Amino acid sequence: MMKNISRAQLKNASLEQLNALCEQLREEIFRTVSACGGHLSSNLGAVELTVALHRVFDFPRDKLVFDVGHQCYAHKLLSDRAALFHTLRQEGGISGFPKRGESVYDCYGAGHAGTAISAALGIAKARDLKQEDFSVVALVGDGSFQNGLIFEALNSLAVLKTNILIVLNDNGMSISPTEGATQDILDGLKTGERDARLFEQFGLTYMGGVNGNELGSLLPALEEAKTKLKAGSVLLHVTTRKGLGYPFSENAPTETHGFSPKPAPQSKYPAALGEELIRLAEKDSRVVVVTAAMTDSLGLRPFFERFPDRAFDVGICEEHGCVLAAALAAEGMRPYYAIYSTFLQRAFDEVIHDVCGQNLPVTFCIDHAGITGPDGETHQGVFDLSYLSFIPNLTVGIPKDIGEMRAMLRMGANYGGPFAIRYPLLGSEGPVCPVERGKFEILHSTTSDIIVLAAGERCIKLAEEAAEILRGEAEFTLVNARFLKPLDAELLASRAEKYVVTIEDNVVTGGLGDAVARFYRDSGKFVKCFGYADAFIPHGEAGSLAAKYGLDRDEIVSCLRELHARG
């Protein structure tokens, strides 16, 4: 375990001592991520840059705002959390992302891309209004620099008339290698083929050519930037190597972007998605794939290799990806837009306005739905059933396993309207039986007065475990409620059970339970809904968090036992 490093130590250290500190940080990060999982290569690449920032600026008086936060580990180690760093991403431990409330050094939280410049501008503007005097630094990766939100912030920088320092940490990668005009511009700046006019047109003083892994060039550059900052906003473009210091990570930065300790279980959904989409594309020339910088994480690399002309990685641009998919569908294609649950929140308006408002056949493949665990609040996919439930024209499927996800993907190519398929981080294989839109599946039939409607693998497993415990004592009929929208009205209307219990891997407000309860309103049936509480769910182990926030097996068992006793 590393000791906390005092501000005085950092300020007084020699260059040699600082370099030694960098090695120490790198080792600590590697050791901790090996044990706890987390973002390895982005954090390794940003070690020197973070040390230099802490040396030159006076945090927390000065403010450091992270974009996404995939590079905040060294910052946490340097700001009073070294002794706690071994608890990274563990329940009750420190978060893998910057988080207000965890430390005064984390002035603004993050987890999604593109927010840092807007946030830095807001902080700087508040400073000006309060007539205070400190520096505001936004640390942004090149992957985020493609995001529309960054551009919106740059566009208003001059209008807002305040000064911030943007440090652009350019490692040429987002999660996958960064593609797009912005990256070409950044690359051109590095090679001298392009000039800095782009940034100057946005009212920024550009400083470039800085090796972000070398304190010898970083420290004077940051000092210079700090001085220039008095006269106006500055963009400091530094080049770093993702994964630096660990050859395995340097050579395979995509694979080591998110790193889980062995033998942690790996999700099989992405590989199945890639396979199934290739299968569909081979048969149907209308099938195309869109992703927002998640080619690898979503299992789409094989598709991109097999059908390079029919696969579009638009960078961290969730909104653009969604409109692109809508327009492809408008012209007769069958786009599959693969995305994480919480990132689809970014394209919420486009799901409504472009896809569903025009009733276009886009299939959303929503990965990381439900509680995901150690990434914490910003990555728990527990809102999607709620935010998709009320959108007209949209079909929402919740497959119980990978087999059923494959069946739904096949349905997507033929069904002619918007279709969302949400599936969790982990999953089991299963047979691929055809699925009919809006039809549930009875998994276990009894003559009991209790029927349980469970959606998705986690919830069906919980129900099956409850059935096992209650066998011979309190039987119930178990249904795979695999469509939130439309509900299986025929099945629901035909059931005679007095007690209806729903279980979903989503907040309890606005999801499956509310939909079933709405269906049964005025029916005299008793409806009890299990789902997550009205709270942001922090990092921790997924199963443990699920139990803590609303899906506790013992509580479900007690409820069923009690309903059985009521008779």
Residues between 449 and 488 with contacts to a second copy, criterion CB under 8 A:
none
∠ Cα 471 472 478 (to 5°): 50
320, 400, 458, 539: which one binds a second copy (CB under 8 A): 320
CB of 333 to a second copy, least distance (A): 5
Of positions 73, 105, 364, 383, contacts a second copy by CB under 8 A: 383
Q: Which two tokens stand for residue 189?
A: 């700046």
Q: How far is the CB of 390 from a second copy (least distance, A)?
A: 4
User: 319, 375, 401, 497: which one contacts a second copy (CB under 8 A)?
Assistant: 319
Residues linked to residue 365 through DSSP beta bridges, in sequence order:
338, 421
User: Within 10 A of 353 (CB to CB), how many other CB atoms are there?
Assistant: 14
Q: Does the annotation count 262 as an active-site position?
A: no
Distance (Å, whole) CA 214 – CA 49: 8
Catalytic, 498? Answer: no
d(CA 402, CA 423): 9
Site string for a second copy, 181-210 (x = CB under 8 A): xx-xx--------x--xx--xxx-------
| Count of positions on this chain that bind a second copy (CB under 8 A) | 108
Interacting span for a second copy (CB under 8 A) from 12-20, 205-213, 337-345, 442-450: 337-345
Question: Which of 242, 406, 410, 458 is flagged as catalytic?
Answer: 242
Question: Site map for a second copy, 139-158, x if CB under 8 A?
Answer: -------xxxxxxxxxxxxx
Closer residue to a second copy (CB): 241 or 548: 548
- Check 48, 318, 319, 350 and give the catalytic one: 318
**Count of helices and strands (H, E) across the chain:** 23, 17
- Exactly one of 79, 341, 363, 378 binds a second copy (CB under 8 A); that residue is 378
Radius of gyration of the chain (CA): 25
CA 262 to chain centre: 22
- The answer to whether the CB of 100 falls within 8 A of the CB of 108 is yes
Please, what is the minimum distance in Å from the beta carbon of residue 5 to a second copy? 26
Instruction: Choose which of 7, 60, 86, 348 interacts with a second copy (CB under 8 A).
Output: 348
Decide if residue 389 touches a second copy (CB under 8 A).
Answer: yes
Q: Please, what is the minimum distance in Å from the beta carbon of residue 462 to a second copy?
A: 20
Residue type, 489: A
Three-state secondary structure readout of 158-178: HHHCCCCEEEEEECCECCCEC
Q: Applying CB under 8 A, does 180 fall inside the site for a second copy? A: yes
Cα angle vertex 213, ends 207, 217, to 5°?
50
Residues 224-283 that bind a second copy (CB under 8 A): none
Residue 350 belongs to what H/E stretch? helix 348-350
What's the full length of the chain, in residues? 567
Is 325 among the residues that bind a second copy (CB under 8 A)?
A: yes
Active site residue 566: no
Provide the residue type at 51 as one letter.
Answer: V
Q: How far is the CB of 325 from a second copy (least distance, A)?
A: 7
- Counting beta carbons within 10 angstroms of the beta carbon of residue 133, is it exposed (0 to 12), middle (13 to 18) or buried (19 or more)? exposed
Report the catalytic residues: 242, 318, 346
